[in-house]
Structure 1
């Protein structure tokens, strides 16, 4: 199945999902599937274009690209869990833990990036979406599965469920196929290309000469007034 055939199929699933959400009186799942997740994917593509415009293969190189792929895994794992597994206390806990790990990795990413290149205002704005959209998703999932969220912290009428199980009612096949294809062609492959570009440009090294030189000098493009030693 190609992207061109999967996209129309996904849109045919929207009316059915809308009907179900309206009947249930809660559009949260619809917002999560058709707004929050696509917005995260769009922000990821925008960030890749920012990196390409900054020519990171000549500045921070493959090391930064590996950090980007690590952050993708940190968010991608909870995304896959929510798409395929029954959402319970375990899945919610995984989402929360991965969110905080992702935030720490994002700090590492920017602290390294600013040693050898300028992180533009536009890229910083894109980062704000990439950092907060996972939190939006957690809030939506908690709202949809409030009893298990309460059970996770030891309150409420239900016992916390830490089992792994497929969804009782799977998401529409067309939707899943489209999302997975979009993730492959617009997220995974572009960032692997970014990694390869950096690796090739630096002659098979994680850090190009510019990054190694900037690290030795203690450069910080985010705070250009700083010098070595913070003076």
Structure 2
């Protein structure tokens, strides 16, 4: 990792924390509107689906060499996430109040992954061009671990933050909705 690479520094130390912060703020909005009482398990499931759509490309980008395959995975994940976000809001807005603050947080949750994707593309322009049949480089669709891995302390801290700020809160949300569903069915 080059410490003087502003694009990488933006990705690691601005984009990722901003994304995590937006995610935990969204969860707090869900708690405030008691989604277990209205949108319920369906919305909680949609949130886990969106987390997976972004989590898989994120893990690939953290641990694997960025090439045409990883860029394609990131583009597909982003597009799926956008479609699922539309489904999420289309459903949830019919059964619960979505405040202006939560709507604004959703804007971050949609645009921050796009910013990350664009920064990755700028760092790996030759493979981005190759993916669409342009440029001199051949598209590389192999899976290889990073030859220059990200610093271990960064990876450990990021993964711990993801668990604490995203996985555990949204798992709690899912359990809360599941329990409420079970209680109302008795």
TM-score interval, smaller chain: over 0.9
> Which residue does the alignment assign to 2:35?
56
Which one of the candidate residues 43, 64, 88 is aligned to 1:109?
88
Q: CA deviation at 1:126?
A: 0.2
Q: CA deviation at 1:94?
A: 0.6
> Which residue does the alignment assign to 1:119?
98
Mapped to 2, the partners of 1:104 and 1:185 lie a distance apart of: 26
Q: CA deviation at 1:21?
A: 3.5
Q: 1:190 to 1:147 in 2, by over 3 A?
A: same
Secondary structure at the residue paired with 1:202? helix
Q: CA deviation at 1:38?
A: 1.1
Q: 1:114 to 1:154 in 2, by over 3 A?
A: same
> Which residue does the alignment assign to 1:33?
12
> Which residue does the alignment assign to 1:8?
none
Which one of the candidate residues 57, 61, 65 is aligned to 2:44?
65
Deviations 1:93-144 (A, max 9, x none): 0111111110000011011101211111000000000001111011100100
For the aligned residues, what is the CA RMSD?
1.3
> Which residue does the alignment assign to 1:169?
148
Deviations 1:62-103 (A, max 9, x none): 110010010001011111011000000000001111111100
Structure 1: give runs of 5+ residues left out of the alignment.
1-16, 209-231
> Which residue does the alignment assign to 1:181?
160
Deviations 1:162-203 (A, max 9, x none): 000000011100000000011111100110100110111122
> Which residue does the alignment assign to 2:66?
87
How many residues are treated as equivalent by the alignment? 185
> Which residue does the alignment assign to 1:129?
108
Q: Would you say 1:146 and 2:122 are equivalent positions?
A: no
Structure 2: give runs of 5+ residues left out of the alignment.
none
Could you tell me the TM-score, scaled by structure 1's length?
0.78
Which 4+ stretches in 1 moved above 4 angstroms?
none
Which one of the candidate residues 45, 51, 57 is aligned to 2:24?
45
Could you tell me the TM-score, scaled by structure 2's length?
0.96
> Which residue does the alignment assign to 1:13?
none
Larger radius of gyration: 1
